Structures are given as C-alpha cells and as structure tokens.
C-alpha cells in the first residue's frame, strides 16, 4: 500500500508540473506570435509616409516607389493606391484598373473613418488566400479626399514561427477572426480556412477567458489540447483577430504516462508477489486489500486522480500506502529535466525577438534615407524618439531633445511661432493629422533663414491610445526663391507692357470719339474690336501686376472710413445693365455693418470680384444676395447665388491660379482665372480667411473675413490696380 500511495503522489505531481510547463511553453509561443503586430505598426508608418510623398500617388512613379519598399519589407505582399472614386491607380500586383472597388471593406472603411484602418478578408485582390488589409486616406492640401493607400500581408509568418518551436506531433495553431472564421492554420490545412467556429464549444470557452489566457480545450477535430490564446489585432478594445496554439494532452503527458506504466507494472508485480505470499499463508484479508490496491491502480492509470485506497492497518501493506506520499521526492530529477527544456525554449524566443529587432532596424534605415526630415516624438510631452539624418542636418543637435518646445521656429514677421499653432503640437493635443502647414521658418547656425513646410500625423497602439507623432519637415527655401523670382519677372514684364497698352487704349478712344475725323462703319467696327481686345489685355496685365505685388507683400495700404452701403451700390450700378438684361433679383443685408476702416480700393476689389462672378455665372431670373456681419471679432462678407455652381471634382482648385470651371466656359469665354486667387492671397495677408460652398446647378456661396479692427496702414510706392 505505501508503494501505491507513492506512485499516485508522484504521478499527480508530475502531471501538474507538465501541465504548468506545457502551458508556459504554448503561452510563450502565443506571446511571440502576438508581437507580430509590428506588421500593423510598420503598415501604419509606411502608409503615413506615402500619404505625404508625392511619388507614392503619382501613377508614373508609384510602381518604382512601391517595388523598392517591398524589396526591403518582405512581410508585405502588395502595395497600392486607389483613387477617391474607387479605381486602381497603382499596384505592385497585376490588377485590372477598370474595376471599381468602392464596395470592398478596406476601401469603404478608410473613406468613412478617414483614418488608418485594418481589415481582414478571406481572399486577396489577386489570390484566394486570407489577407490583412491596411489602408490610409490621402488628402489634398485643402482636406479633400484624393485616394486610399493600402498594403496587404498574409499569414505565412505563422508557419515559420510555429515550426521554429519544434512542437510535438499534433500541435495545432490557428488565427481566428473576431466572428469565428478561421484565417490561418498550422500545420497547413486548406479545408480549415474559412471554417466558422462562432457557435462551437471551443469558441465559447475562449470567449469565457476574454480571448486572452490558457485552458484545456477540445478542438473541432475531437482532440483535447493544452491551449494558450491572445488577441492578435485589436480595434477600439475589441479583438478583430486572435491566435491560439494547442499541444495535444496525450503528447504532453506521454513521458509521464510511460513512468506511470512502469511504476504500475512494478506495483503489480509486487502485488502479485504479496498476493502469492498471502495466498500461501491463506490470509484472505491481505488478498482483499491487494485486490483494492490493484483496482485503484487500474483507475489511476486511466487518469482517475481522485481514487484513493483507505487502509488503517499498520502492517506492510499499510506502510506501502504511507510510502506513496513520499514518492514526491523522486519528481525532482524529472522537474529539473523539464526546466532545462523551458530554458531552451526561452532561448529560441529570444532569437525570434532579435529577428524582430532586425526588421525594426530595416524600417529605421528606410526612414533615415528619406529626402525629407523625419522626427518621431513621444506622447504626451514631445520627447524625440527618432531623428533621421536629414532632420539632424536641418534642425541641429537640439532635434534629439524635445521638438515640441523648440524656441527657434519663427513666423513670416521674424517672431517666435506660437507653440499651439505648431503642427506637431496640434497632433499631440488633437490626435489628428496636420498636412503641409507653411509659413514656418527657422534660422540655422549660420544665420540663414529657411522656409519650412511641416506635416504631422499621430500613431496609435493596438488599443487606440496615442503613442507617438511622426513629423515630416520639408525645406521649401529653394522653391520659394524660384517662385519669388518668377513673380518678380511677371511684375517687371507686366509693368513694361502696361504703358504701351494704355497708350493704345487712349488712341482707340480718341479715334472712336472722332478726334481724327469721321469713321466709316467698317473702321468703327474694327476699332471697337481692337479697343475691346486691348482692354481685356490691360485687365490681364493689371491682374498679373496685382498677383505679383500681393505675393511679394509690397503694395500700399491706405486705410480710411469706407461706407459699405455706398460701395456696394456703386459696384451694382456698373452691372445694372447685365442685371436688368438677365432679370436677376439682387438683395443686400448689411446687418449692423455700415462703415469699416480699410483701403477702399482693396475692399472694392474683394467685393467686385465676388459680386461680378455671382452676376456673370447666374442664369436669367436667378438671384444674388450680398451679406455683411460681425462674428467673433471678424467682419464676414458673403455673396451667394442660384448660379451654375462648381463641380465637386474641381472644388479643390477654386482658389488656385488660372482656374476656370469647365461647366461655365460655355457661358463665359473671357476671364483670366486670377481673381479668386488674388482675393484669397489678399484676405490671408490681412489675417482673414476665404471659403465657399457650392453644388453644381444649384448655386454657390463665397465667404471672406477681415479683422474687425480694420486694416493697418502700409506705405509703399506700388498700389493695387
């Protein structure tokens, strides 16, 4: 009996130890697999970098850009760009460009959320394998959606990862979507892919543990396994996918079962010997006690650990029962052997971790060789975590400290740029992307002033918490110098053209008025055409001169008290013939605005541009409304109409140079396309804003704001004409 107790005690302790170590082993495997979320981080950083790199969205350069990236990042299978209306612009895999994909989840989700998204699909765009889709919206400088960048990755890394652990035969690893669909299986089992386990006992048991933990689970192949599981992809605190690894219970306890069988055999032999001795002695009491011992041993060998043999007699059989409890000492050597195996597995895990570090270094090398300055800052205080070579050259040694508090950023007036207006500070506080903010300058160690264009984007962990902000800084000094030289050339050329054109106008007026004698009808017709064409050319030259002076900021501002009622009436009187001919209804709402301290010529240019556009581009019997009001310490001007409107696809170009809408060219062939660009530049020069709302064939409303306190005097020789 002591021998039975010893065997039972040792077997129980052995099984407990094996269970604990097997659980630890599969948990290590799951945790390492869970770290593959570097795919998610790499994809997010890649797509954010692509969104601010022009080569990535240009159909002539994108293929080369994507191919070079995928050569260095083999973890991804495809890299592409889709236009905002759902057509492929570029892809590293051959995909039909005339197929519209607006119904695909990865596209819809990125458009609706307007942020980085993760999607899981049972099939890829060109394969039948399950895929992870990572997508990120691409916006224009005005915030209009231009397209969607995406990369894909499959689950091939699962095979390599599980194979490296040398797991027992029968080990099974699965990647399962949040709805219970099997996405990947190891060993590879094509029939498993797509299987839905949502209502299975297996999924219910995993859900009871919150999709993170370990348990003994019977898989759908009816094999019980010691299983560990953990989320692989989280979204808003909910697991989109999780991974599990299970080792068969029979394989885990194979060594222990061999020991038990050996011990049982010894015990049975001892029992037989005792039985023979008892039989010979005729002691029926000993025989019954041995029968109970054999019966208990058989149950114990079948895994019934609750069986016990009660025996209060203190003889040899009783001492055998007592010895059972001392069998635990023999587990020490077995435990030491298992601990050695755990250390070996830990070493393998560390090796895999080193491989992940290599991938991280590859990403750092890519960022380090970008032509833009890139800085990664940590939330919430803004400490620099990564600074590439271009950023070190541009910003100097202090870039490695705390970029959010840099004191040397300046505005256009050489004053310190407000901390709260800096793009990276905005991203830290608002957790939103800021694209291509200009008007920021810095002086390097040589005192040279550099113009910057800065973009910043937040980075979130798998739980949606802000971790870092990626800052991309472009040196725009050379581009601005070229633009300034162009403006100076246009100004000089326009100025030289203006004098002879004005003289031509004057002579035409003299001839038409009869100062050189009476004209024939043909002569008069020719002169009127010449005068009209010359006047349009003078207007164009004046517009070019104004654009040049506005862009350089060198134009005179002479504030005076301007009465808006009389100014608007004066402008409307000049267009009365057109208004009457079209039978337009023109209304004005001045609220409490009567007088304003500003340059009369500049105010007239602003109002006349908005009003003339509304009158020209509103069909007969339509309406035009002019409104002025004060809001939040600003003067707001708005001109709305029931005109032709602006097509949605052209609205991001409205305030750019030389823009004229396609839908109005058939109604109005004349125009330079410079008016709205001048108004935007002028209003922003005085610290105001311009914007508009429009719907094709329903009308438009254009707005502008100016400081309520008025304009400041600026004495320059040149004035706007």
Dist CA 432 CA 430 (whole Å): 5
- The larger pLDDT score, comparing residue 497 to residue 249, is at 249
Task: Check pLDDT > 90 for residue 705.
Answer: yes
Dist CA 229 CA 202 (whole Å): 12
Task: Check pLDDT > 70 for residue 226.
Answer: yes
Dist CA 379 CA 700 (whole Å): 42
Task: Check pLDDT > 70 for residue 543.
Answer: no
Percent of the chain predicted with pLDDT > 90: 12
- The larger pLDDT score, comparing residue 294 to residue 218, is at 218
Answer whether 0.75 is exceeded by the pTM.
no
pLDDT at residue 328 in the model: 36
Dist CA 181 CA 152 (whole Å): 19
In SS3 terms, 274-301 reads as: HHHHHHHHCCHHHHHHHHHHHHHHHHHH
- The larger pLDDT score, comparing residue 546 to residue 171, is at 171
**Mean pLDDT calculated for residue range 47-59:** 84
**325 — pLDDT class (breaks 50, 70, 90):** very low
pLDDT at residue 670 in the model: 63
* pLDDT tens digits along 141-161: 888 899 999 988 887 766 776
* pLDDT tens digits along 572-581: 998 999 999 9
- Give 416's DSSP letter: B
Out of 7-16, 386-395, 660-669, 692-701, pick the least confident.
7-16
Check: CB of residue 204 under 8 Å from CB of residue 270: no
CB under 8 Å to 239, separation ≥6 — which residues?
A: 178, 211, 231, 232, 233
pLDDT at residue 641 in the model: 96
Out of 325-329, 342-346, 551-555, 685-689, pick the least confident.
325-329
Highest mean pLDDT among 4-13, 571-580, 653-662: 571-580
Mean pLDDT across the chain? 78
DSSP H helical segments within 245-376, as ranges?
249-252, 254-281, 284-301, 316-324, 331-368
State whether residue 303 is helix, strand or coil.
Answer: coil
Check: CB of residue 506 under 8 Å from CB of residue 534: no
pLDDT at residue 503 in the model: 73
* pLDDT tens digits along 278-322: 555 545 566 676 676 677 667 656 655 566 666 666 666 666 665
Dist CA 307 CA 12 (whole Å): 11
Check: CB of residue 589 under 8 Å from CB of residue 626: yes
User: What residue ranges define each of the domains in the chain, with the CATH number in brackets?
Assistant: 370-475 (3.30.450.20), 481-552 (1.10.287), 560-707 (3.30.565.10)
pLDDT at residue 640 in the model: 96
- Is the C-alpha dihedral spanning 640, 644, 649, 650 positive or negative? negative
pLDDT at residue 562 in the model: 92
* pLDDT tens digits along 170-200: 888 888 888 888 888 877 777 788 888 888 8
Check: CB of residue 271 under 8 Å from CB of residue 231: no
* pLDDT tens digits along 395-418: 776 666 666 556 567 777 777 777
Task: Check pLDDT > 60 for residue 493.
Answer: no
Q: What are phi and psi for residue 668, nearest 5 degrees?
A: -140, 105
Q: How far is CA 577 from the centre of its chain?
A: 54
**331 — pLDDT class (breaks 50, 70, 90):** very low
């Amino acid at each position: 009996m002591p021998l039975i107790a010893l065997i039972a005690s040792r077997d129980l302790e052995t099984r407990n130890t094996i269970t604990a170590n097997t659980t630890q082993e599969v948990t290590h495997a799951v945790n390492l697999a869970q770290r593959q979320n570097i795919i998610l981080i790499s994809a997010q950083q890649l797509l954010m970098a692509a969104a601010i790199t022009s080569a990535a969205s240009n159909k002539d350069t994108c293929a080369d850009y994507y191919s070079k990236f995928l050569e260095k990042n083999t973890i991804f299978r495809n890299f592409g760009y889709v236009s905002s209306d759902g057509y492929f612009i570029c892809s590293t895999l051959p995909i039909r460009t005339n197929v519209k994909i607006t119904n695909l989840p990865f596209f819809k989700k990125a458009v609706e959320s307007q942020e980085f998204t993760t999607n899981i699909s049972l099939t890829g765009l060109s394969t039948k394998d399950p895929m992870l889709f990572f997508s990120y919206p691409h916006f224009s400088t005005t915030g209009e959606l231009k397209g969607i960048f995406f990369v894909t990755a499959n689950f091939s890394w699962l095979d390599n990862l599980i194979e490296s652990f040398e797991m027992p035969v029968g080990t099974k690893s699965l990647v399962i979507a949040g709805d219970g669909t099997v996405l990947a299986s190891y060993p590879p089992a094509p029939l498993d892919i797509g299987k839905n386990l949502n209502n299975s006992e297996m999924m219910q048991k995993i859900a009871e543990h919150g999709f993170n933990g370990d348990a003994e689970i019977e898989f759908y192949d009816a094999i019980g396994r010691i299983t560990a599981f953990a989320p692989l992809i989280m979204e808003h605190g909910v697991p989109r996918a999780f991974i599990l690894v299970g080792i068969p219970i029979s394989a885990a306890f194979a060594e222990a079962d061999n020991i038990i069988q050996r011990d049982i055999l010894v015990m049975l032999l001892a029992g037989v010997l005792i039985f023979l001795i008892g039989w010979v002695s005729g002691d029926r009491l000993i025989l019954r006690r041995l029968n109970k011992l054999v019966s208990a041993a058989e149950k114990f060998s079948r895994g019934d650990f609750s069986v016990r043999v009660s025996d209060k007699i203190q003889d040899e059989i009783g001492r055998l029962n007592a010895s059972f409890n001392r069998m635990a000492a023999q587990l020490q050597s077995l435990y030491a052997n298992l601990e050695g195996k755990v250390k070996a597995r830990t070493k393998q895990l560390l090796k895999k971790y080193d491989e992940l570090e290599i991938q991280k270094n590859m990403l750092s090398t890519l960022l380090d060789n970008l032509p833009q300055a890139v800085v990664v800052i940590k939330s919430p205080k803004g400490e620099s975590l990564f600074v590439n070579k271009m950023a070190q050259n541009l910003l100097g040694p202090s870039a490695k400290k705390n970029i959010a508090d840099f004191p040397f950023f300046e505005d256009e007036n050489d004053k310190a740029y407000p901390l709260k207006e800096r793009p990276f500070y905005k991203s830290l506080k608002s957790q939103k992307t800021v694209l291509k903010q200009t008007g920021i300058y810095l002086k390097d160690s040589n005192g040279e002033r550099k113009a910057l264009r800065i973009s910043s984007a937040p980075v979130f962990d798998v739980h949606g918490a802000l971790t870092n902000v990626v800052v991309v800084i472009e040196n725009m000094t050379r581009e601005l110098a070229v633009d300034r030289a162009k403006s100076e050339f246009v100004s000089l050329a326009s100025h030289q053209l203006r004098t002879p054109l004005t003289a031509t106008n004057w002579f035409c007026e003299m001839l038409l008025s009869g100062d050189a004698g009476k004209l024939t009808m043909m002569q008069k017709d020719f002169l009127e055409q010449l005068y009209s064409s010359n006047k349009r050319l003078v207007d164009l030259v004046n517009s070019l001169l104004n654009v040049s002076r506005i862009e350089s900021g060198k134009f005179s501002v002479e504030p005076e008290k301007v009465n808006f009622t009389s100014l608007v009436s004066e402008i409307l009187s000049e267009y009365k013939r057109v208004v009457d001919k079209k039978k337009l209804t023109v209304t004005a709402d001045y609220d409490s605005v009567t007088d304003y301290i500003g340059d009369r010529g500049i105010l007239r240019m602003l109002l006349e541009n908005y009003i003339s556009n509304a009158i020209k581009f509103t069909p007969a019997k339509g309406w035009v409304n002019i409104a002025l009001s004060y809001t939040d310490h600003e003067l707001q001007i708005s001109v709305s109409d029931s005109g032709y409107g602006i097509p949605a696809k052209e609205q991001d170009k409205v305030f750019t140079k030389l823009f004229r809408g396609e839908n109005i060219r058939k109604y109005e062939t004349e125009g330079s396309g410079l008016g709205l660009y001048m108004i935007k530049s002028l209003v922003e020069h005085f610290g105001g804003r311009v914007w508009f709302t429009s719907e094709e064939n329903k009308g438009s409303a254009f707005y502008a704001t100016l400081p309520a306190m008025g304009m400041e005097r600026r004495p320059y020789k040149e004035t706007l004409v």
